[in-house]
Amino acid sequence: MSGAIRHPARWRSAATLMRAALLVTLLSTLLAAFAGCGSREETPPAARNEHAAPLKIRIGADSYAFSFQFRVARAAGIFKKHDIDAEVSTYSFGIDTINAAILGETDSAEGMDYAVASRFADNSTLRVVAHIGGPGPNGEKLYTRLPGVNAVADLKGKTLGVKKGTVNEYIWGKVLELHGIDPKAVQQVYLGSTAELLAAYQAGEIDAFWGTPDVEAPILAVPGSHLLGNLDLAKTVYRGYLLFDEKFIHEHQAGVVRLLQALDEASAYIAAHPQETAQIIYDDLKAPREAVLESLKAYHYDVRLTQADLEHLVSVADWSVDNGLIKRRYDIRPFIDTAPLAAALPDKLTVRQE
């Protein structure tokens, strides 16, 4: 007993002890309740739990293969699983999604290397957060409707269809350079969508253009139409990037992290379920299923950011400056934000720390 209660003189009876214990318990309960109420009042709603409601993200997506991750993530419930309310808006090309983000119409954008490099400026608030995919050599092919044209060198003096402001403009520049054609020796017709390019090709208004697998059948249906080659003609590859407005990243970094994780899961879904993906894209864009399946063979989806990805972006920008496509040289580092990917998929971030 000597070790149980050190000051027994303070308690006159077992009843007194019980009453004191009940009083202590009651006071503790009341204090806890008041403390809990106070903490709820003092904690801002956004800081309590971002998962309390799905985060709305306005996503700018192109009209074909570059956007498949977003469309699959939405249709297959992957965005919902990651507490994202995705509002996907469709634009012709990636460059259009970048312009939309600049105007505040969307929170995110996607763009191939040249389109991304061409839109950075001192006052740009867009930040590259990841590489998300791109086509292999057969992702686009060069076609001509002129029977006498059998090599790129034969395009001298001909009319070329160009997707203005997109990576296609860069690809044409590289191809002409590599095959010894002065850009002034061809006529470049700038059009705003694949549908417009195809229509111009069918009408004989352009002699050659780069087509994707989804339009190969109507291209080859044009009398005399034939293939000149694939993207190997340019000796380069496309790399596609995801961008977010810096304010959105600051206010909703956890949401950007979850979106990157969702896109990574969608990439795996596409690889494992091509037939289901083809159906999703048909339902969303009405693209023929067989064409989608051909596109999937030529496209890769990979959420990452490597040193090579950044160096490629710099090399595209430098070449474009040297050849007059971009007006000024700049430092790429201020336009990169690696924090979301570092939190979402740390093993997919291999950028050197300067």
| Residue whose structure tokens are 């006052």 | 123
Sequence-distant (≥ 6) Cβ neighbours of residue 4 within 8 angstroms: none
Which domains does the chain show, CATH number per domain? 50-136+238-350 (3.40.190.10), 138-234 (3.40.190.10)
What is residue 52's predicted lDDT score, i.e. its pLDDT? Answer: 59
Confidence (pTM): 0.81
End-to-end CA distance of the chain: 68
Give percent helix, percent strand, percent coil of the chain, each to the nearest 5: 55, 20, 25
Q: Is 245 left (phi over 0), alpha (psi -120 to 50) or beta?
A: beta
CA–CA distance, 16 with 294 (Å, rounded to integer): 85
Is 116:217 a contact under the CB 8 Å cutoff?
no
CA–CA distance, 142 with 138 (Å, rounded to integer): 10
For residue 112, what is the enclosing H or E element? strand 108-112
Instruction: Chunk the chain into consecutive blocks of 10 residues (it has 354) and report each block's average pLDDT, rounded to whole numbers.
Output: 33 36 39 38 37 87 96 98 98 95 96 93 90 94 96 97 93 96 96 93 98 93 97 94 97 98 98 98 95 94 97 94 90 94 97 75
What is residue 354's predicted lDDT score, i.e. its pLDDT? Answer: 62
Sequence-distant (≥ 6) Cβ neighbours of residue 343 within 8 angstroms: 253, 257
**Which strands sit side by side in the sheet containing 349-350, from one edge to the other?**
84-90, 55-61, 108-112, 240-245, 126-135, 299-306, 349-350
Q: Which of 134, 164, 321 is nearest to 242 (CA)?
A: 134
